[in-house]
Homo-oligomer: A and B are copies of this chain.
Amino acid sequence: MRVLITGANGFVGRELVRCLLARGRLRGQVIDSLLLLDTELQGVPQDPRLRRHCGSITDAALIRRVLADGIDVVFHLVSIAGGAAEEHYELGYQVNLLASLELLNQLRNKTLPPVLVYASSVAVYGGDLPTKMTEHAELRPELSYGTHKAMVERAVIDLGRRAEVDGRVLRLPGIVARPREPNGLRSAFMSDLLRSFAEGEAYRCPVSEQATAWWMSARCCVNNLIHAAELNGVEPGSQRVWQLPVLHLSIAQVVDALAASYGQERRSLVSYAPDAHLEALFGRLPPLKTPLARAAGFSHDGNAAALIRNALNPATPRHLSLTGDSLYVATNPD
């Protein structure tokens, strides 16, 4: 089996690479080749199954070379983050929209449609969310990033209907805990809070303690991505888009969980200087019910303590389990 990961050197991509190498199998078959596509691939582990393709996804000829020997499963993760795509429109347009469309078009295969897992985003909903948020909420993206994600979702659905690409779309919430480096994410504070607390550093939080957001660890996210690829029976006309279950937590709840793990004394390291714009964008997210996604086997981290554990202890031995059950999950319905 040949598997491709675009954005393989990104925060989620690296976790996915590690997890797939550890599992060794996907959809019941041995992974012979794991193809990695990213602009930079240093830091990726050494493994004879890895095939490195260093370059931009906007290079259509490169995509053709990557796909030349056939492909069974694609995890399409690469994207320019929301804030960066808003500021550098052309870059986001080329990467998030056009390159995704080109990839999809090259994947079209009428005899054996490849499985595609597309990482979409809760940004497709926009900021003006209903109080009772469900999986059926209307898409009203307020940034070019969310607009382009919503457009690619439609393309995936259409090619699924045509039975040319067997696509599965997951809408991801904020994934933590990203490395503390400039990443163009407006929601970077979610990760920064966790990293600072874990490392015992002072952190000035740009949203209030009452701010509520949707959280998921990278490990949980990767489990969901793999689950999406493993799903069988996604027929041309069936559902292809899932809003992932999310943990709906206030900053206060997250700080409580951090304090329980790292010590109550560290609470004093966190101060609050809410930014009205950020608070409006990321601080008033309502609870989100996802019964369809749960019925399809998707899950969130379980609770705040599990989120912290999954997000900040990425190198625990559990992670290398061949069964893929590396996730610490507490049962806690959303």
Contacts and interface: CB of A to CB of B under 8 A. Distances in A.
A101 B97 contact: yes
10 contacts: A89-B108, A89-B162, A97-B101, A98-B101, A142-B161, A144-B162, A147-B154, A147-B155, A147-B157, A151-B151
A141 interface: yes
A247 interface: no
Contacts of A97: 101
A158 B147 contact: yes
A162 B85 CA distance: 12
A101 to B, nearest CB: 7
A218 to B, nearest CB: 29
Contacts of A161: 142
Q: What DSSP secondary structure best describes chain A's contact surface?
A: helix
Contacts of A141: 154, 158
A135 to B, nearest CB: 13
A282 interface: no
A151 B98 CA distance: 12
Contacts of A157: 147
Contacts of A142: 161
Nearest to A151: B151
A105 interface: yes
Q: Which 10 A-B pairs have the closest CB atoms?
A: A147-B158, A151-B151, A147-B154, A151-B154, A144-B158, A150-B154, A93-B105, A151-B155, A147-B155, A144-B162
Nearest to A124: B154
A2 B138 CA distance: 37
Interface string A132-144: 0000001001101
A97 B247 CA distance: 36
